[in-house]
Amino acid sequence: MTEPMFDVDAALLTAVLRDPAALDEVRAIVQPEDFRRAQHRAIFEAVVAVAGRGVTVDEVTGNAELDAVGKLAGVGGPAAIVELE
């Protein structure tokens, strides 16, 4: 199976990072296991965790969460979220 030209998972994460208010709507229909790539799944879980604490999600808070749960290196390091934004 070839990788699609347009990465829907990355686009969804980009949208949520740019408009955190959209996260509630996204969470109503998207679950972490819906993401094809483990790195996108981990980033989504981090976004949900940070937002769940009432903290604004951005590259700093997202990376801090990924680091705290030991997944920062696995997603490609601090640049992974920046590349989505």
CA distance 11 to 43: 13
Beta carbons within 8 Å of 69's beta carbon, 6+ residues apart: 46, 49
0.85 cut: is pTM over it? Answer: yes
Q: Give tens-digit pLDDT for 54-73.
A: 999 888 999 999 999 999 99
Q: Can you give the pLDDT at residue 2?
A: 60
In this structure, the number of other CB atoms found within 10 A of the CB of residue 59 comes to 16
Sequence-distant (6+) residues with CB within 8 A of 12 are 26, 30
